[in-house]
Structure 1
Amino acid sequence: MLWVFLAAVAAPLQVARNAMQRGLVGDAGPWGATLVRFLFGLPFSILIFTVVALLTRDAKPDPSLRFWLGAMVGAIAQVAATGFLLMAMRRSGFAVASVLQQSALPLGALLGWVALGDDLAAHAWSGIALATVGLGVLSWPRRDQMEHGLAGGLLGLAAGAGFAVAFNGYRQAGLALDPAHPIFSATAALVVAQVMQSAVLTGLLAATRPEALRAVATSWRSSLAAGFFGSLASACWFAALALSPAGPVRAVGLIETPIAAAVGHRLFRERPSARQWVGGLLTTLGVLMTTLG
């Protein structure tokens, strides 16, 4: 059950990283803030992997095509998902967007079942269905916010879809590298993915939005903190995914929902509506059912 502990630790770390990235969106833009997560997190990820490698001297990694393909797909999907999430936060608010991205729960479970053969109990699938209904209630905007809110909802759901692909890609990479040492495999996949993400995003922004790179460099203190929390969160997520299918891991991670609501109220003065509270409650109940499965 180590994966439960790892996912539970990753959730609040992820909220902290998202809050710091949200504060960088104004100057750096969503893709500059996305770069922060990977570029400034890379040194910490390398440090984590170094420690794990020193403690796992009998590891026998097999960097096969399956490993590289899983890491590459996961890296690309995670970049897109993070950008969509930050754009959704600007439109729908920090707390609501944080919950909308949890559409990764049903989508991740379905992808794991189809692509990796992950098997879940019947009541776990029922919990996933209930959580999906809760997400639908949560994402539906008020009539007076239909155009603006619907765009934010779609961006949040797109982020969830991207994270679902990323979770399963990273799970496949971890299983392929060295199944006997899942923590070693997970941290190795994390470093490989962040190198890819940092190189691609830096190159694209240098060519299209050099001012975003300057904004990231100027705010290096908060960027470094976001990278630190992001690296720790990703290491925990990757390790949990190497030990368990994506659906249950994402379900435990939904404990970030009340944390995100508290942070959104405290830092960004957001007040969820009654309907959003109902949607959040349905989602939470679905999560509990899924975790039990």
Structure 2
Amino acid sequence: MLWIFLAAAAAPLQVARNAMQRGLVGDAGPWGATLVRFLFGLPFSILIFAVMWTITPDAQPDPSARFWIAAVVGAISQVAATGALLMAMRSSGFAVAIMLQQSSLPMAAILGWLVLGDALGIAAWSGIAVGTVGLLVLSWPRQGQARADLPGGLLGLAAGAAFAVAFNAYRQAGQAFDAGHPLYSAAAALLVAQTMQSVVLSSILGLTRPQALRSVFGTWKPSLAAGFFGSAASACWFGALALAPAAPVRAIGLIEGPIAAAVGRRLFKERLTPRQWIGGGLTAAGVLLTVLG
């Protein structure tokens, strides 16, 4: 049952990281703020892997082609998801974007059914249907505000889809590296993914938006804090995914919703409308049904 505690710990850590990243979007832009998560989290990921390597002397790692393909797919999907999520926060608000991100769970369940052969029962399909309705309510534009609301809703759903791909890819990477030591494998997958993400995204920004790269390093103190929370959250998610399928792991992440609502109201002075509360409630109910199924 360790995966439950890891997933429960990951959710508030992730909300803290998202809040810090959102504060960096103005100076560094969404992709600069995305880089913060990976680049400044890399030293902590190295430390986490070093600890796991030390306490797992009998590990037998197998960096096969399956591991590398899964790690690359997960890394690319996670970068895309993080960028889309930060842009959705700017359009739709902090809490609403986090709720829209919950679409990753039903999408992860469907992806597992299509690609990995996971079995889905009637309850699971019912949950996916209810969750889809909730997401439509959340993302549906307000009357007279269609142009302002639609991009944020679509970006939030895109983030959920990309996170669904990343969760399943990282699950595969952890199982391929050393199935007998899931936490060690999760730490290795985290380190490999963050190294690739840091190098590639830094190179792209250095060539296309050097000002964003300078802003990232110029705000190194808050960036380091965001990196710590991001690395800690990712380590918990990766560890949970190495021990359990993606759908139940993401279900524990439902606690992100109320935490994000509280943080959004406290830090960003956001208030959710009744429609948004209803949409968030339907999404949560759909997620729970999916897991029960």
Report the TM-score range of the alignment, normalised by the length of the smaller protein. Answer: over 0.9
Q: What residue in structure 1 maps to residue 225 of structure 2? A: 225
- The CA distance in 2 between the partners of 1:24 and 1:260, in whole Å, is 17
Q: CA deviation at 1:121?
A: 4.4
Q: CA deviation at 1:120?
A: 4.3
Q: CA deviation at 1:247?
A: 1.5
Q: What residue in structure 1 maps to residue 44 of structure 2? A: 44
Q: What residue in structure 1 maps to residue 186 of structure 2? A: 186
- The CA distance in 2 between the partners of 1:9 and 1:133, in whole Å, is 28
- The CA distance in 1 between the partners of 2:239 and 2:113, in whole Å, is 19
Q: What residue in structure 1 maps to residue 97 of structure 2? A: 97
Assess, with a 3 A threshold, how the Cα gap between structure 1 residues 84 and 269 changes in structure 2: closer, same or farther.
Answer: same
The 3-state SS of whatever aligns with 1:248 is helix
Q: What residue in structure 2 maps to residue 210 of structure 1? A: 210
1:38-187 counterparts in 2 under 5 A? 38-187=38-187
Is 1:2–2:2 an aligned residue pair?
A: yes
Q: Matched residue pairs, number?
A: 293
- The CA distance in 2 between the partners of 1:38 and 1:192, in whole Å, is 11
Q: Which runs of 4+ in 1 moved over 6 A?
A: none
- The CA distance in 1 between the partners of 2:144 and 2:222, in whole Å, is 36
Q: CA deviation at 1:137?
A: 1.0
- The CA distance in 1 between the partners of 2:240 and 2:254, in whole Å, is 14
Name the stretch that deviates more: 18-27 or 145-154: 145-154
- Kept after mapping to 2: 8 A contact 1:252/1:291: no
- The CA distance in 1 between the partners of 2:4 and 2:292, in whole Å, is 11
Q: Which string of whole-angstrom CA distances, capped at 9 and with x for unpartnered residues, describes residues 99-153 of structure 1?
A: 1111111111111122222234442332233222211111112012111100110
Q: What residue in structure 2 maps to residue 287 of structure 1? A: 287
Question: How large is the RMSD of aligned CA atoms in angstroms?
Answer: 1.1
The 3-state SS of whatever aligns with 1:125 is helix
TM-score relative to the length of structure 2: 0.97
- The CA distance in 2 between the partners of 1:267 and 1:145, in whole Å, is 24
Q: CA deviation at 1:178?
A: 0.8
- The CA distance in 1 between the partners of 2:229 and 2:286, in whole Å, is 27
- Kept after mapping to 1: 8 A contact 2:140/2:153: yes
- Kept after mapping to 2: 8 A contact 1:174/1:185: yes
Q: CA deviation at 1:58?
A: 1.0
Give unpaired runs (5+ residues) of structure 2: none
The 3-state SS of whatever aligns with 1:254 is helix
